[in-house]
Amino acid sequence: MTQDQNEIASGERGSLSRRTVLATMGALPVLAATTSVLGASEAEAATAVIDPSAPRQTIRGFGGMAHAAWIGDLTAAQRDTAFGTGEGRLGFSVLRIPVPENQADWSRDLATARRAIELGATVIASPWNPPANMVETFVRGSQTDAKRLRYNMYGAYAQHLNAFNDFMRNNGVNLYGISVQNEPDYAHDWTWWTPAELVRFLRENAGSIGTRVIAPESFQYLKNISDPILNDSAALANVDIIGAHLYGTSFANFPYPLFKQKGAGKELWMTEVYYPNSSDSADLWPQALDVGEHIHRAMVDAEFQAYIWWYIRRGYGPMREDGQISKRGAIMAHFARFVRPGYVRIEATANPASNVYVSAYRGGDSTVVIVAVNKGTSAVSQQFTLANSTASGVSSWLTDASRNVAPQGTTGVSNGSLTVTLPARSMMTFVTGVSSGPSPSPSPSGGTGLCRVAYTTSSWNNGFTAGISITNTGTSTINGWTLGFTLPPGQTITSGWNATYTPSSGQVSARNVGYNGTLAPGATIDIGFQATHTGDTAEPTAFTLNGVPCTVV
């Protein structure tokens, strides 16, 4: 994607760009083919079966792009709106930033990246151009000033990417991954790469890069750009994430059989898109529901592990120029706020009725999230049944023409089933606690056996992440919980997920958030945090749940 000189603050354009035409050409026939009008009365749908025991891909997150050089930085308040997870927030857990070609510009997006990290998000980076001294011009068709990386500069370019990664890490941002090139196959305004050039760089140079490597980020998920990487074992060994953009990509081209065949151990991310266009207001309704179907298909049909929008703040984006969440943003929040990093998509009846799209996700052993889109003009009576599981009460949130991710309270579950009304032209998210049967009662070791805690960490030079699993091993449901523990000296929490943490060091209390306050007997809740340390990465030695000591395993 490039900055559009015709683009104005509202996101409208004086004339359609080639990108907009491609996106429209790719989207409209599919939407037209799947749209039908339901009757005026409430329609019944087939039961949507949700199977928590049937895992699919692990979700890394949902997010968007910040590009201070082109549209200005996010304000402090806008960062919190983008990456916060509470009511009125987008809940984004992935931030994408550019890799400027000039080192003097590397700090432009640092403040936003730092805040995203503090709020628990992952940060990745993509370059548009190498430094000017590494580039040469050549003739490519009718383009006489096309740019490419000079072949004798491949090693220096890898060092450039590594230096940016080091700069960000030394300034508090550990990049999850860095791309070789943004849209190497749509580079009229930046640097072209052929598939053979990408393979050569990956084979010979990418192994020296000190973070995960992302490639190829084709603008239209063209498989002829990524197939050569998957078919070259040496190149594939130096790639961690197959990245793709979805501009004009038809739903029929979302699946990627070759990745399933050869991509074992690799991740599959959708790293940029806007949809269905950049010419309409993001508040246009019911068009914003198209975003819901698009994300659904990206998760279910393509099995992407991340979904990243273009500019976070734009008239056609998830956040309006005034910093308020748009309708498209509300649709994204139905996924982003509730389907958190590390959740796993599980099997679900994807299309139980015409214009109804369902996907489901499991967090640890205890939480199931169901996201449902109803694009039809009539309400739908939809039954959800949890296979091989029992569930507690279900909390839900609704977006329609007049409401944005509005809490709808708690609904009971009977024999693992729930029947709800999906209003016409709406989107809903449902969150419930589940268990797959009684958990074995461990022999108490420093605890009473009413709760069990597992604590795991992953550390680096000055930081670490901690995952905490809390299991109710008692016979009564816990409604509202606080986990208490003491961090060793020098450890300070900088961000967390699925709980609120106070204070950030010393004797810490982790309290439930709105969607996971109920802990049924045998159920497990997964929470976690990111922290800094001064050399001591020891684990807490004891935990209490609502003041009662827990068994530590």
Distance CA 210, CA 205 (A): 11
What phi and psi, each to the nearest 5 degrees, are found at residue 145?
-120, 30
> Residue 427's Cα: distance from chain center in Å?
18
Sequence-distant (6+) residues with CB within 8 A of 30 are: 250, 251, 252
293-311 as b/e, with b when 16 or more CB fall inside 10 Å? bbbbbbbbebbbbbbbbbb
DSSP H helices, 171-316, are: 195-204, 223-230, 233-237, 257-262, 289-300
Q: Are 351 and 382 in contact (CB under 8 A)?
A: no
Query: With contact defined as beta carbons under 8 Å apart, do 254 and 350 qualify?
Result: no
CA–CA dist 424, 190 (Å, integer): 44
Give the alpha-carbon dihedral of 123, 128, 133, 138, to 10 degrees: 150
Task: Based on the residue annotation, tell me whether 272 is a catalytic residue of this protein.
Answer: yes
The C-alpha R_g of the chain, in whole angstroms, comes to: 24
Kindly list the distances between the CA atom of residue 240 and the CA atoms of 158, 166, 207, 287, in Å, as whole numbers in the listed order: 15, 18, 11, 35
Q: List the beta strands (DSSP E) in 339-481.
A: 344-348, 356-363, 367-374, 380-386, 390-399, 406-411, 417-422, 426-435, 451-459, 463-472, 478-479
Output b/e per residue, 177-213; b: 16+ Cβ within 10 A.
Answer: bbbbbbbbbbbeebbbbebebbbbbbbebbeebebbb
Question: Exposed, middle or buried: residue 33 (CB in 10 Å: 0-12, 13-18, 19+)?
Answer: exposed
Catalytic residue among 101, 183, 217, 267: 183
183 catalytically annotated: yes
∠ CA 316-322-324 to the nearest 5 degrees?
75
CA dihedral 10, 14, 19, 21 (to 10 degrees): 110
Q: Which amino acid is at 297?
A: R
b (16+ CB within 10 A) / e for 275-289: bbbbbbbbbeebbbb
Gap between the Cα atoms of 139 and 145, Å rounded: 6
Residue from 239, 242, 328, 235 nearest 290 by CA: 328
The residue among 125, 92, 89, 82 whose CA lies nearest residue 341 is 92
246 and 273 in contact (C-beta within 8 Å)? Answer: yes
Q: Which one is catalytic: 7, 217, 267, 272?
A: 272
Angle between helices 289-300 and 18-34 (to 10 degrees): 80
- Using CB atoms within 10 A of its CB, is residue 31 exposed (0-12), middle (13-18) or buried (19+)? middle
Residue 12 CA to residue 277 CA, distance in Å, equals 10
Element spanning 155, H or E = helix 154-170
Which amino acids are annotated catalytic?
Answer: 183, 272
